[in-house]
Amino acid sequence: MLFLNAHICPMDGPEIERGFILTRDDVIEAVGPMERAPDPDGNEVADLEGAWALPGLIDAHTHIGMWEDGLGFEGDDGNEATDPATPQLRAVDGVNPLDRAFSEALESGITTVMTGPGSTNPIGGQMLLLKTFGVCADDMAIASPAAMKFALGENPKSAYSDKNTPPTTRMAIAAIIREQLSKALEYKNRFDDDEQDDPEYDIKAESLLPVLAGELAAHFHAHRADDIATAIRLSKEYGLRPVIVHCTEGAKMAEVIRRCGCGVILGPLMTDRSKPELREQSITTPAELDRAGIEFAICSDHPETPAKYLTLSAALAVKAGLDRQTALRAVTINAARVCGADGAIGSLTPGKQADIAVFDRDPLDMTAEVKYVMVSGKTAVNRL
């Protein structure tokens, strides 16, 4: 397909005021100014007449399809609150891609989401990175698993204090994580030791081996500064690749985060301060971290904020001082990078997957409307 006369935000270079995008099958073949546009013969042509074309937006942390829209317990598959350590749980087994929230995200220009377990358990399970267009999670998946979910602070404490079982303190949360990681290391070492018999199969340990090997990122739910420090401490102890999710008090820890080189996912940015950990939540945090030289993604944390308001979250961050281009990167290429998928998605780069979102104006304009969405080379939304 050949898109003509588009205002292009490729995210891997400067904006093109009037340009073209050529896709072939499921990949982007070429992007450039109109003077270099190929002959339209043999291509389906869409004249965008100045509309804005971006890579499909990416929501780097959600629970979409895990807490289904408009349902109670029947649609609640996000937390297995019967065991504080459940690394063996797989989001692909719990997500419902036919949940209405997927179509709403798609119609808002979001083509990829990271979804998975909630934050009840210190180790919650395996996250899933998938497209928003389709009916079967296996076919929509980009990476399964895509990360391992860990949670620190108030949520695990409050979930288990009523059960009168650990963890009821931050110390116990960290201890449970250490215990499981240490068991997984011992499990691996027995396999590696030719003088010992192989251990009995342990699904929890098996699930943590890619995390210990650095093949799978460790996504730490952490709001408070001390919990951010604990995530970094645990990561150093076990050689993990940490991503700080939420990072509400990240501005206080900017120097520590920069030294660590952690990935950062900010959000949700549009909720009230519903619990003590959020009492210092501020819409200025993205701008503060940007000034500190820290790269980050912005997420909705759906359903905390509906995924369809991802661009509104980025726009509000701009209103609070964040650079506009940085805000767009936070929901495209930066989000792809923190999800480990920037080689395939996140920018309009030849060779990457043909995920394209077309808006009638700047997507950070609150009145902007989505006119067209392509996912993996297929038309998913067409209002042209």
* 177 and 247, same domain (yes or no): yes
Q: Sort residue 331 into left (φ over 0), alpha (ψ -120 to 50) or beta.
A: alpha
Are the C-beta atoms of 211 and 88 separated by less than 8 Å?
no
Q: Tell me, what's the pLDDT at 162? A: 85
The whole-number pLDDT of residue 100 equals: 96
pLDDT of residue 71: 75
Instruction: Output the pLDDT for position 75.
Output: 76
Structure-block tokens of residue 152: 């620190």
Residues in the chain, overall count: 384
Q: Are residues 170 and 237 in the same domain?
A: yes
Position of tokens 């820290």?
A: 294
Round to whole Å and give the CA distance between 203 and 180.
11
Per-residue model confidence (pLDDT) at position 37: 95
**The pTM is what?**
0.97
Structural domain tally of the chain?
2
Domain residues for 238?
57-345
The pLDDT, as a whole number, for residue 268 is 96
Q: Are residues 363 and 281 in the same domain?
A: no
Same domain, 262 and 187: yes
Do 92 and 169 share a structural domain?
yes
On whether both 31 and 77 belong to a single domain, the answer is no
Same structural domain for residues 174 and 245?
Answer: yes
Position 193 scores a pLDDT of: 81
Q: What residues does 242 pair with on adjacent strands?
A: 218
Assess whether 124 and 180 both reside in one domain: yes
CATH number of 126's domain: 3.20.20.140
Contact 162, 148 (CB under 8 A): no
> Do 233 and 338 sit in the same domain of this protein?
yes
Q: Please tell me the predicted confidence (pLDDT) of residue 164.
A: 87
- Distance from C-alpha of 130 to C-alpha of 132, rounded to nearest angstrom: 7
Residue 375 and residue 226 in one domain:
no
Read off the pLDDT of residues 71-111 as tens digits, 9 standing for 90 and up.
777 778 899 999 999 999 999 999 999 999 999 999 999 99
CB 8 within 8 A of CB 21: yes
Cβ atoms of 59 and 341 closer than 8 Å = no
Neighbours of 293 (CB within 10 A): 10
Provide the pLDDT for residue 72.
77
pLDDT at position 166: 95
Residuewise pLDDT in 10s, the chain (384 residues): 999 999 999 999 999 999 999 999 999 999 999 999 999 888 899 999 999 999 999 999 999 999 988 777 777 889 999 999 999 999 999 999 999 999 999 999 999 999 999 999 999 999 999 999 999 999 999 999 999 999 999 999 999 998 889 999 999 999 999 999 999 999 999 988 877 888 899 999 999 999 999 999 999 999 999 999 999 999 999 999 999 999 999 999 999 999 999 999 999 999 989 888 999 999 999 999 999 999 999 999 999 999 999 999 999 999 999 999 999 999 999 999 999 999 999 999 999 999 999 999 999 999 999 999 999 999 999 999
- CATH number of the CATH domain containing 379: 2.30.40.10
Note whether 272 and 322 are same-domain residues: yes
Q: Which residues on adjacent β-strands are paired with residue 222?
A: 246
Query: 345 burial class (0-12, 13-18, 19+ CB within 10 angstroms)?
Result: buried
> Which of 315, 302, 265 lies closest to 66, judged by CA?
302
Pairing state between β 370-375 and 378-382: antiparallel
Provide the pLDDT for residue 77: 87
Q: What DSSP character marks residue 76? A: B
Answer yes or no: do 322 and 383 share one domain. no
DSSP string for residues in 6-65: EEE--SSS--EEEEEEEEETTEEEEEEEGGGPPP-TTS-EEE-TT-EEEEPEEESS--TT
**Helix/strand/coil for 153:** coil
